[in-house]
Amino acid sequence: MIAKTLLAGALGIAALAGTLKETGGSEQEQAASPVVADTSPSQAGETVPTKVPAGYALVWSDEFDTPGLPDPAKWKYDTFRNQEGWFNNEKQYYAAGREKNARVVNGRLVIEAHLEDISSARYADWGKQRYTSARLITQGLGDWTYGFFEIRAKLPCGRGTWPAIWMLPSDPDVKWPAGGEIDIMEHVGFDPGVIHHSIHTSAFNFSRGTQKTSSHTVPDACDAMHKYQLLWTADFLLFGVDDQPKLLFKKESDKQARWPFDQPQHLLLNIAVGGNWGGQKGVDDAAFPARMEVDYVRVYQPRK
């Protein structure tokens, strides 16, 4: 269970004011009635992060200070489903090493999706997509078990865009959803300013309608930078925006189906186009190019 001493002592911040959404309940209850949790644990005196927890140190970061392609010592390109087509019926081709889709400029990482015909480029893995984008990952370059993660970003808002800041298991042999997925931030352009935080496991995932999630509005998410945050410990996952708590998921079982979050995961940054969720209301071609700008990515862990 959640360690109140860590939340109150190591984080050292104010008590909740009824804004934190806590997930809970049995698998049977969740399967019978999928919910966006709205129960506040504030009555229990639990607290939330408004800064890097005390005793934590920076272990990995990218401040995006060097113009050009993203730093190859920190980022790789995920392209493995380009020819076959991406999951969720998404419509993008994820390019590798192409500044048009991923570049550092003026101290920011720009991930940019375009409507374009790339047939003449003769990419061997092109699956006849009409949109290009980029999906950057830290797998093998930055992998962590537990920590405080902070990504400051500005999002695209065009209909059909689906930007995400998220985490997946670093072991390539682990299949979804058994290893768990941590969605620090998701946004779909047809619903501008609504930010989603979610976790997926074998017991809790969208294919069963049992995912644990919280949604809330950040009115200027597409016009201004905001801090998207995750505190991941052995006992809980706590999501925040601009130091404000939004979703608390507690470990309530040692079963991997309910808590697989004890193995290394890596970060992903991407803009998908269309898809079962992002494309629910179609894709507005006039929305492209669409960009996500990232000011920095920082990862902290307890000092040893």
3-state secondary structure of 290: strand
> Which residue, chain included where needed, has tokens 């992060």?
49
The whole-angstrom separation of Cα 1 and Cα 47 is 14
The whole-angstrom separation of Cα 228 and Cα 265 is 17
Structure tokens at 284: 């507005």
The whole-angstrom separation of Cα 180 and Cα 177 is 5
* Residue 296 near residue 54, CB atoms below 8 Å: no
Q: Does 99 participate in catalysis according to the annotation? A: no
Annotated catalytic residue, options 27, 181, 252, 293: 181
Among 193, 183, 256, which residue's Cα sits nearest to residue 220? 193
β-bridge partners, 9: none
Structure tokens at 237: 């996952």
Q: Does 90 participate in catalysis according to the annotation? A: no
Terminal-residue alpha carbon distance, the chain: 23
Annotated catalytic residue, options 29, 186, 252, 293: 186
Residues classed as catalytic: 181, 186
